[in-house]
Amino acid sequence: MPLYPTPHINASPDDFARTVLMPGDPMRAKFIAENFLQSPKLINNVRGVQGYTGCYDGARVSVMASGMGIPSIGIYSYELYNIFGVENIIRIGSAGALREDIRLRDIVIAMGASTNSRFSHQYGLAGSFAPICSYDMLRVCVDVASERKIPCHVGNILSSDTFYSDESGVPDGMKANDGWRKMGIMAIEMEAAGLYMTAAAAKKNALAICTISDHIITGEATTSAERETSFTQMIGLALETAKRLD
């Protein structure tokens, strides 16, 4: 018997392209489908997590939301890779900057994704796993950014399990983010490490591209409406990358 539909995705493997763009926000998935894809078709709306497949410049591309956090993207990416036959997932999301040289609305590409999550413990490893992206996807994405003269920061990000952290018991000068900054972490988000680990276990490909929506050092921030509709440079970069992977 087929393993689909699942409790989370009411679709069949033929409904999805080889590459899926995965924002966290279902409304951003809808925005991308309606404004960037030709002839988009709604293929999933279970729990309001909208998924679409259409064409971008002749290439078949899907876009579907992941929800927030590693557990959520872990579910959707696992099913896409292992049940629906998807080969490549590009996370496109927002992140908070941790370095002074990274500004609001800059793009960061996660070569690696450190995490404070215990997600990797399910694999029974005798040590620590370093979640990294697909080199082929990274190379294509950086090439596209260079051709389009889009400045990007490439390096290590942090996928955090907490958005609101209780640091009341941490001494001054030893806040949690200070250690990550010391180790060169560019920005904080909440999904990439889970995606990279799921891709590694499935022997599939993943890449996370994020736009800086707020700055943890300066306190600058974009609005929720801006995060939903204004990150067009990142979306174009991801779509062109997906086209070249087709």
Residues annotated within a binding site for phosphate: 24, 28, 47, 91-94
57 is catalytic: no
Dmax (CA) for the chain in angstroms is 58
Structure tokens given for 123: 């694999």
Nearest to 243 by CA among 30, 81, 38: 38
- Amino acid at the residue 57: D
Binding-site residue numbers for a purine D-ribonucleoside are 8, 189-191, 213-214
Pairing relationship of beta strands 205-215 and 152-159 according to DSSP bridges = unpaired
Q: Which residues touch 191 (CB under 8 Å, ≥6 apart)?
A: 24, 66, 68, 69, 70, 72, 73, 91, 93, 159, 208
Pairing relationship of beta strands 59-64 and 152-159 according to DSSP bridges = unpaired
CA distance 101 to 84: 40
* Cis amide linkage into residue 26, ω under 30° from 0: no
∠ CA 51-54-59 to the nearest 5 degrees?
Answer: 130
CA distance 84 to 64: 13
Q: Are the C-beta atoms of 123 and 201 separated by less than 8 Å?
A: yes
Q: What is the dihedral of CA 31, 36, 38, 40, to 10 degrees?
A: -20
Q: Which of 14, 106, 136, 214 is catalytic?
A: 214
CA distance 72 to 46: 13
Catalytic residues: 214
